Amino acid sequence: MSNEIRYELEVVKWQGSIHCAYLNNLRIAGGKPWAGGQIVKKWSVTARDVIQSIPELQNLSKNYETAQSELAALREELAKWQGIAGRRTAERTEFMNERDDLQQRLTAAEQRNSELDGLYKCAIKMVTDHSVRASELEVLLMNTTEVLRSGGGYGWEDAQADIIDAALQPTESGASE
């Protein structure tokens, strides 16, 4: 025996003739039996039995099954796109973090270059004024190497600082070159 829910289909007569039919205690055909009535025939049916007996219900059932299949496919598609959106959100976050890091490095490089530009202009002025003492120029060059070695650069800064440091090293006579 199937696990399907069963319903009672009944044929009722009154005043000697058949007048109506009931499905699950709901009159579905015929007139209302005034003053009672008598069940003359009774069947136990399933919803599938009722649907198969009425073509419109068969179409409705097929349409429902088609709609359920479409819903399942759409749910699957939505889940797929939500997964993609989640990955894209993570990629976007990573991109934004990289962009922020690059912006910070650019700002630091611009600041360092601004300091170097100021030191360079000061050195040019000192050399062209001929009023510079060697000790002042040496301090300026030491400040320049300090800025170059402050970090966050691209590698060339350390090489420039090494050149300046080498130039400031005392010679055999004790003076800087």
DSSP secondary structure code for residue 56 in this structure: H
Q: How confident is the model at residue 130 (pLDDT cuts 50, 70, 90)?
A: low
Decide: helix, strand or coil at residue 137.
Answer: helix
Give CA 10 to chain center in angstroms. 59
Decide: helix, strand or coil at residue 152.
Answer: coil
Per-residue pLDDT, 155: 66
Supply the pTM of this predicted model. Answer: 0.37
pLDDT tens-place string over residues 37-93: 888 899 999 888 888 888 887 788 788 888 899 999 999 999 998 888 888 888 888
Contact 176, 169 (CB under 8 A): yes
Q: 149 or 42: whose pLDDT is higher?
A: 42
Per-residue pLDDT, 106: 87
Average pLDDT over residues 133-140: 68
Looking at the chain, the whole-number percentage of residues with pLDDT higher than 70 is 80
Domain ranges for the chain, please list them: 1-53, 80-168
Could you give the CA distance from residue 88 to residue 92 in angstroms, rounded to a whole number?
6
Contact 165, 145 (CB under 8 A): yes
Could you give the CA distance from residue 3 to residue 13 in angstroms, rounded to a whole number?
32
Per-residue pLDDT, 53: 82
Q: 175 or 9: whose pLDDT is higher?
A: 9
> Over 60: is that where the pLDDT of 1 sits?
no
> Helices 134-148 and 156-168, interaxial angle, to 10°?
160
> Over 90: is that where the pLDDT of 172 sits?
no
Per-residue pLDDT, 42: 93
Burial class of residue 62 in the structure, from the number of CB atoms within 10 Å of its CB (0-12 exposed, 13-18 middle, 19+ buried): exposed
Over the Cα atoms of the chain, what is R_g? 47
> Over 80: is that where the pLDDT of 122 sits?
no
> Over 70: is that where the pLDDT of 154 sits?
no
Could you give the CA distance from residue 126 to residue 110 in angstroms, rounded to a whole number?
24
Q: 137 or 109: whose pLDDT is higher?
A: 109
Give me the phi and psi of 4, to 5 degrees please.
Answer: -65, 150
Tokens of 159: 């090489």
Per-residue pLDDT, 175: 52
Per-residue pLDDT, 72: 92
